[in-house]
């Protein structure tokens, strides 16, 4: 039998194109969900590739105008060769000169449900089906015509059926309304036209004016190379103190990172998330075009300076809003590519020297070179902080340019520090006790106390309890702020008389007087609350005006390193090749996340997922303490789990790092605490979707289950799983036994599956969740565990299980939206009031579920 992918394979050179080769096609041997994908393809002409999974391949049609929700719009669909299943997630550039050369994004994806026998209907030339996608839904038809196009290709028509999802084209064009990828932040055109790999070396010095600046290096001269379609920026890692070694330091600008692509004189400005901003910066583009570069990539940051010569992020936003882009300065600090030469592997100093040589040839008011300072980092940071700058960037001497967050680039941020008036506090959130955050304020010029933000970090368990007790005599019903906080910041607030002071370190204060990145440092009793207003930086600062944390860097230990006093062996071992995270990186993550994750682990039996050789190796699920000793971990009384080795608990940072030392990536916890292990204090629903379902179906399923829980009277909280799904957590009073809680969870799952059987399943097994979401209620059995909030997941990219607010569901894009690399940009605690919830399973609830 002929291989249906032979034509696909014949047309492609897989040594050149990044498209997947795909395995041999095979028919389905058991019922499963059929996926569809629509790829937006910017080739010779922009078109949409419509693909349906059938008999082991993706049957494919090129739709020039794309799909339409209007049944009157019969869209031409040219039948093309079958594609491999793996093609369904392909995004990227196909080199020019190759078949289909151009850029590709996944515009839509989901599942399709045939209305009849799909194989027979396809052969007959008339397919009727339903789509369940992120963008396309409802009933559609593909019908073959008698006409043939170029190469005798069959011409079909893609037609929207008349149903509730149909919409007139003149009122809604789905391709215009929703133009971007459903898998990433990519859009088209974004990557620029893909270039063919040259058969011969590129002539990188056609004229005297386009000559590449000479690199003074002992390495061989860089070899000619094609201009990359896209270069991702190298990102800096936040550190607590300047490291040892040879570093170059630059000012940390408070603006927007911007990469520049120059191709035959055409200038394109690309943001970090791939947006093209060339049209927003015409003066800057004109200045760049005056450089003696035929092609290249430049890296820098756009800023606006205030009257003191300091970059002002608010002023930059105002410049864009008002259209005054001539005030925007573009500071350049690196040049990864220049006139046909790939410089990324060359030392930092050589790239910067070449960049400066290029910039010295123009006289521009809007393009500037970011100077580096060859002086100690603490002196630069002190100076930067004294004049109100955000901080400094350090770059390791001799380092290459890497398109990722790198330890070769570091950032040291300034922290301003002063007293604030305490005007109230919020209810505790998550596993925190006593209170959640302080509401602080400052007096303005008229003496009125104005709200200046919330401070929720910098507390220990002891300080939370002590401060809560100290605040009680000042509780009042009337707020002291003249401008009250709004929205989420005003929920669950206990107001205080404005008489207590706290000292706070912070990064900056916004134009509306709210602190950014505030950290509590303690109460102050030596000043009057009535005298507290914003302190302004002086020309000659005192020694405390710049806060440089003195936290020690990990110290070398025998055969490893030490982090927070815990020895980590083989720190260089790569645990996740996808993110290049090492064992040291895992330990440093858990050290940094400890204040957030430890309250969720406190006094709960824990199970570990250990990956001693990395996530691609053996994964060991360990619930009990065994012969392998885990440093600092606490073992429970063996009588709590008869017949097994002792259960384990992680109560402190040392135990958390001890688990990391033994190769732990994931931390799973029981639904009960050790002191009442027979009485669960929560009920958990793990929503596990068919992997082919669109994410929209996952969100809809979550909302439906939350609606049922609302009707039953349960207050519920949500967190991402760090994988493909979501977890719904229902806190309970410790009154019910395991069987009671499991039976109620099962009844809820079965109710959803019986009422909406096309969406939900309450039975385990992949065969039972085809096109559905499985509600896993078995997490509520005695001894069962669920991944802890803020735990990493042992999957490519190291996703994190993250608590979210219910209002965030609409903007959530996937279950592993936050990873080891991105979590700390988002940290907050949205589970307001979790510890104050008092609810139990009632007879009325059981009756509603048909249990009585």
**What DSSP element (H or E) covers 139?**
strand 137-148
For residue 535, what pLDDT is reported? 62
Q: Is the pLDDT of residue 387 over 70?
A: yes
Give the phi and the psi of residue 53 in degrees, each rounded to 5. Answer: -70, 130
Contact criterion met (CB below 8 Å) for 714 and 734: no
Query: In 1-56, where do the E strands start and end?
Result: 34-42, 46-54
CB-based burial label for 130 (10 Å; 0-12, 13-18, 19+): middle
| 3-state SS, residue 381 | helix
Given a contact cutoff of 8 angstroms between Cβ atoms, the answer to whether 479 and 396 are in contact is: no
Task: Using the structure block, give the residue that is written with the tokens 């901080």.
Answer: 391
pLDDT of residue 215: 52
Do 682-848 and 555-669 have the same topology in CATH? Answer: yes
- What class does CATH assign to 416-531? mainly beta
N-to-C CA span, the chain:
59
Angle between helix 583-601 and 653-661 (nearest 10): 140
Element (H, E) at 154: strand 154-160
Q: Which two tokens stand for residue 744?
A: 């109620």
Task: Identify which of 670, 630, 637, 672 has the alpha carbon closest to the alpha carbon of residue 652.
Answer: 630
Residue pair 74/157 in contact (Cβ under 8 Å)? The answer is: yes
Give the per-residue pLDDT at 559. Answer: 59
Length of the chain: 852
pLDDT value of position 769:
84
Contact 174, 67 (CB under 8 A): yes
Long-range pairs for 747-756: beta carbons < 8 A, 24 or more residues apart: 747/846, 747/849, 747/850, 747/851, 748/685, 748/705, 748/708, 748/709, 748/712, 748/775, 748/777, 748/849, 749/685, 749/775, 749/776, 749/777, 751/708, 751/849, 751/850, 752/704, 752/705, 752/708, 756/704
**What CA–CA distance (Å, rounded) separates 771 from 140?**
18
Domain ranges of the chain: 6-177, 231-411, 416-531, 555-669, 682-848
Whether 554 shows a pLDDT value over 50: the answer reads no
CA 92, CA 18: separation in Å to the nearest integer? Answer: 8
Alpha-carbon gap, residue 787 to 229, rounded angstroms: 40
Q: Which of 186, 252, 454, 673 is catalytic?
A: 252
Token pair recorded at residue 705: 């289950």
On the question of pLDDT at 460 being above 90, the answer is no
Residue 141 CA to residue 506 CA, distance in Å, equals 59
Q: Is 527 a catalytic residue?
A: no
In sequence order, what are the residues at sequence separation of 6 or more whose Cβ sits closer than 8 angstroms to the Cβ of residue 97?
Answer: 196
Q: Where is average pLDDT lowest: 106-115, 318-327, 725-734, 754-763?
A: 318-327
d(C-alpha 275, C-alpha 181), whole Å? 13
Q: How many helices (H) and strands (E) does the chain have?
A: 13, 44
Angle between helices 695-712 and 738-755 (to 10 degrees): 120
- Taking only the tens place, the pLDDT of each residue in 527-543 is 567 767 776 533 322 22
Average pLDDT over residues 550-563: 56
Give pLDDT, residue 218: 39
Give CA separation, 625 vs 301, 651, 789, 793, in Å. 51, 15, 22, 21
**Sign (positive or negative) of CA dihedral 348, 353, 357, 363:** positive
Please list, in sequence order, all residues whose beta carbon lies within 8 angstroms of the beta carbon of residue 22, skipping any fewer than 6 positions away.
5, 8, 9, 83, 84, 85, 86, 87
Asked whether the bond before 262 is cis by omega within 30 degrees of 0, the reply is no
Question: Pairing between strand 620-622 and 519-524?
Answer: unpaired
Work out the number of other CB atoms within 10 angstroms of the CB of residue 220.
6
For the ranges 161-170, 233-242, 625-634, 756-765, the lowest mean pLDDT is seen at 625-634
List the one residue out of 95, 129, 126 whose CA is nearest residue 112. Answer: 129
Q: In percent, how much of the chain has pLDDT > 90? A: 54
Say if CB 575 and CB 619 are below 8 A apart. no
Say yes or no: domain 555-669 is CATH 3.90.920.10: yes
As a three-state string, the secondary structure of 580-635 is CEEHHHHHHHHHHHHHHHHHHHCCCCEEEEECCCCCCCCCEEECECCCCCCCCCEE
Please tell me the predicted confidence (pLDDT) of residue 547: 27
Pick the CATH number of 231-411 from 1.20.140.10, 3.30.470.30, 3.40.50.150, 3.40.50.1980: 3.30.470.30
Distances (CA, A) of 15 to 196, 414, 757: 12, 48, 47
Residue whose C-alpha is closest to residue 69's, from 130, 145, 144, 140 = 140
- Note the pLDDT of residue 321: 66
CA dist., res. 315 & res. 677, Å (int): 56
Nearest CA to 681 among 464, 809, 834, 797? 834
How far is the C-alpha of 665 from the C-alpha of 579, rounded, in Å?
14
The total of other beta-carbon atoms located within 10 Å of residue 484's CB is 15
Instruction: Give the pLDDT score at 201.
Output: 32
On whether the CB atoms of residues 635 and 647 are closer than 8 A, the answer is yes
| Spatial CB neighbours of 562, under 8 Å, sequence gap ≥ 6 | 554, 555, 556, 568
- Token pair recorded at residue 248: 């170059």
Q: How far apart are CA 16 and CA 98, in angstroms?
A: 8
Q: What is the CATH number of domain 682-848?
A: 3.90.920.10
pLDDT at 688 (0 to 100): 92
Q: Where are the beta strands (DSSP E) in 243-294?
A: 247-252, 256-263, 266-271
Question: Strand 247-252's sheet: what is its strand order?
Answer: 235-238, 405-413, 391-396, 247-252
User: Beta partners for 567?
Assistant: 562
Radius of gyration of the chain (CA): 30
**Chain mean pLDDT for the chain:** 85
CA 665 from chain centre, in angstroms, equals: 18
pLDDT digits (tens, 9 = 90+) for 572-617: 999 999 888 999 999 999 999 998 999 999 999 999 999 988 998 8
How many Cα atoms occupy the beta-carbon half-sphere of 244 within 13 Å? 4
Residue 514 pLDDT > 70, yes or no? yes
| Distance of alpha carbon 766 from alpha carbon 394, whole angstroms | 50
Local structure of residue 111 (DSSP, 8 states): E
For residue 418, the tally of other CB atoms under 10 A from its CB is 19
Task: Render pLDDT for 212-271 as a digit per residue (tens, 0 to 9).
Answer: 455 544 344 455 678 998 999 998 887 767 777 788 999 888 788 999 999 988 999 998
The per-residue pLDDT for range 801-839, each reduced to its tens digit, is 999 999 889 889 899 999 998 888 777 778 978 989 999
Task: Identify the pLDDT of residue 582.
Answer: 94
Least confident of 54-63, 638-647, 664-673: 638-647
249 to each of 19, 680, 791, how far by Cα in Å? 41, 53, 34
Question: 178 pLDDT exceeds 60?
Answer: yes
Taking the CB of residue 764, how many other CB atoms lie within 10 A of it? 12
Is pLDDT larger for residue 768 or for residue 83?
A: 83
pLDDT number for residue 205: 32
């Amino acid at each position: 039998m002929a291989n249906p992918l032979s034509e696909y394979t014949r047309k492609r050179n897989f040594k050149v194109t990044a498209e997947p080769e795909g395995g041999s096609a095979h028919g389905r041997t058991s019922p499963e969900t059929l996926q569809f994908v629509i790829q937006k393809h910017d080739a010779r002409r922009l078109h949409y590739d419509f693909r349906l999974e059938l008999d082991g391949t993706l049957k494919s049609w090129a739709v020039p105008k794309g799909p339409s929700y209007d049944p009157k719009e019969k869209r031409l669909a040219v039948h093309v060769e079958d594609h491999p299943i793996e093609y369904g997630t392909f995004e990227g550039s196909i080199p020019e000169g190759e078949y289909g050369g151009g850029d590709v994004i996944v515009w839509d994806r989901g599942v399709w449900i045939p209305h009849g026998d799909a194989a027979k209907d396809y052969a007959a030339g008339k397919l009727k089906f339903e789509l369940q996608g992120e963008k396309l839904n409802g009933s559609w038809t593909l019908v073959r015509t008698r006409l043939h196009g170029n190469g005798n290709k069959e011409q079909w028509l893609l037609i929207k059926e008349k149903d509730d999802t149909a919409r007139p084209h003149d009122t809604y064009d789905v391709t215009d309304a929703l133009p971007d990828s459903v898998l990433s932040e990519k859009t088209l055109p974004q990557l620029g036209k893909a270039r063919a790999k040259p058969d011969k070396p590129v002539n990188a010095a056609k004229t005297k004016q386009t000559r590449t600046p000479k690199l003074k290096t002992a390495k061989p001269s860089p070899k000619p190379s094609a201009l990359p379609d896209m270069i991702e920026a190298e990102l800096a890692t936040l550190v607590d103190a300047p490291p040892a070694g040879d570093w170059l330091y630059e000012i940390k600008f408070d603006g927007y990172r911007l990469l520049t692509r120059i191709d035959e004189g055409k200038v394109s400005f690309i943001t970090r998330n791939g947006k093209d901003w060339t049209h927003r910066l015409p003066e800057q583009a004109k200045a760049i075009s005056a450089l003696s570069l035929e092609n290249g990539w430049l890296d820098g940051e756009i800023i606006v300076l205030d009257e003191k010569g300091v970059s002002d992020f608010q002023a930059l936003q105002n410049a864009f809003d008002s259209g005054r882009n001539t005030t925007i300065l573009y500071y350049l600090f690196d040049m990864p590519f220049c006139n046909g030469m790939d410089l990324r592997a060359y030392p930092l100093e050589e790239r910067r020297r070449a960049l400066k040589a290029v910039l010295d040839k123009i006289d521009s008011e809007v393009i500037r070179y970011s100077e580096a300072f060859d002086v100690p980092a603490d002196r630069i940071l002190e100076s930067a902080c004294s004049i109100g700058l955000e901080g400094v960037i350090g770059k390791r001497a001799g380092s290459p340019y890497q398109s990722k967050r790198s330890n070769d680039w570091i950032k040291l941020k300034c922290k301003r520090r002063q007293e604030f008036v305490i005007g109230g506090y919020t209810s505790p959130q998550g596993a925190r006790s006593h209170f959640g955050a302080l509401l602080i304020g400052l007096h303005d010029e008229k003496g009125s106390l104005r709200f200046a933000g919330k401070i929720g970090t910098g507390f220990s368990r002891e300080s939370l309890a002590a401060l809560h007790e100290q605040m009680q005599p000042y509780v009042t019903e009337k707020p002291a702020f003249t401008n009250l906080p709004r929205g989420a910041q005003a929920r669950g607030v206990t107001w205080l008389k404005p008489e207590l002071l706290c000292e706070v370190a912070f990064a900056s204060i916004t134009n509306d007087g709210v602190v950014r990145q505030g950290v509590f440092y303690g109460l102050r009793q030596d000043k009057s609350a009535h005298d507290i207003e914003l302190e302004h930086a002086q020309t000659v600062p005192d020694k405390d005006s710049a806060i440089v944390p003195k936290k020690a860097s990990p110290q070398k230990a025998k055969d490893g390193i030490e982090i927070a006093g815990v020895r980590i062996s083989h720190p260089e071992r790569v645990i996740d090749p996808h993110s290049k995270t090492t064992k040291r990186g895992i330990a440093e993550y858990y050290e940094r996340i400890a204040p957030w994750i430890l309250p969720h682990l406190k006094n709960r039996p824990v199970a570990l997922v250990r990956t001693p050789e990395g996530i691609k190796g053996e994964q060991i699920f360990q619930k009990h303490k065994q012969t392998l000793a885990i440093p600092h971990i606490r073992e429970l009384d063996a009588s709590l789990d008869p017949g097994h080795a002792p259960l384990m608990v992680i109560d402190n940072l040392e135990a958390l790092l001890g688990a990391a030392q033994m190769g732990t990536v994931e931390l799973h916890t029981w639904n009960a605490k050790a002191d009442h292990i027979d009485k669960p204090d929560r009920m958990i629903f793990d929503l596990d979707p068919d992997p082919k379902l669109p994410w929209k179906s996952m969100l809809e399923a979550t909302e439906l289950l939350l609606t049922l829980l609302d009707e039953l009277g349960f207050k519920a909280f949500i967190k991402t799983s760090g994988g493909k799904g979501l977890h719904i957590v229902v806190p309970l009073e410790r009154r019910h036994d395991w069987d009671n809680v499991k039976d109620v969870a099962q009844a809820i799952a079965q109710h959803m599956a019986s009422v909406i059987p096309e969406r939900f399943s309450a039975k385990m097994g992949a065969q039972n969740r085809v096109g559905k979401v499985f509600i896993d209620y078995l997490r509520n059995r005695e001894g069962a565990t669920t991944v802890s909030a803020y735990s990493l997941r042992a999957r490519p990219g190291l996703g994190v299980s993250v608590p979210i607010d219910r209002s965030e569901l609409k903007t959530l894009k996937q279950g592993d939206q936050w990873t080891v690399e991105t979590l700390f940009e988002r940290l907050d605690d949205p589970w307001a009031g979790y510890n104050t919830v008092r609810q139990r399973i009632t007879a009325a609830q059981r009756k509603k579920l048909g249990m009585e």
